A and B are shown apart, each in its own frame.
Chain A
Amino acid sequence: GAGVSQSPRYKVAKRGQDVALRCDPISGHVSLFWYQQALGQGPEFLTYFQNEAQLDKSGLPSDRFFAERPEGSVSTLKIQRTQQEDSAVYLCASSPTGVLSYTFGSGTRLTVV
């Protein structure tokens, strides 16, 4: 596709439920990023992949958060035992090699009730 695609667009989860958020980056983009954006705030870095290698996961808030990109294209962000504070928009972005400006998807809005 022409842009970064994220699914689902909206997700409502009961507290304690596990969720999986999907990101389809732009074809051929080597770098992939996940960000968390709370309401009225700027995006905050979660994790970064270069191809299938997870090079930085310093932003993951707890061990309930896990991300993977097994074949170097599609990525999944998994949140186990969701809590209310996990409610946010989860943004995925991708970029080609050596390009600092990346393209964001429209995000997945997660609401934990």
Chain B
Amino acid sequence: QQQVKQSPQSLIVQKGGISIINCAYENTAFDYFPWYQQFPGKGPALLIAIRPDVSEKKEGRFTISFNKSAKQFSLHIMDSQPGDSATYFCAASMGKRNEKLTFGTGTRLTIIP
């Protein structure tokens, strides 16, 4: 059972544009939602994370928008750069009750000049 659904599977954005990746979850016990960035041959690296008590969190060019009632959250990358080309994974966990992460299937992002 896939508890975190991610879309799109791949995304091509022009340099300077906004990249948007969406995720939806089913388990209402999830209360921690991180996004990870993964380059080929490397492990995932934490990008930004949000708890459900806020609707938005911004760190530099990266913003998470969170809609608790719709059970959806998204990652926005502003002013996308070629160095942002990577695979992005959303994830969810039950926080301190259970720290294991349930990952989405990933989005391969390509930023073109």
Contact = CB atoms under 8 A, between A and B. Distances in A.
A91 B99 contact: no
Interface stretch (B13-21, B52-60, B76-84, B101-109): B101-109
Interface residues of A, number: 25
B89 A43 contact: yes
Contact of A104 (B43, B93, B105): B43
A93 B101 CA distance: 11
Interface of A: 4, 31, 33, 35, 40-45, 48, 56, 59, 91, 93, 95, 98, 100-107
Contacts of A4: 43
B61 interface: no
Given A56-B100, A98-B96, A106 B106 contact: no
B12 interface: no
B100 A48 contact: yes
A101 B43 contact: no
A44 B46 CA distance: 16
B112 interface: no
9 closest A-B pairs by beta carbon, nearest first, are A104-B43, A42-B103, A45-B100, A101-B46, A106-B43, A42-B89, A104-B44, A100-B32, A43-B103
B41 A56 contact: no
Contacts of B105: 41-42
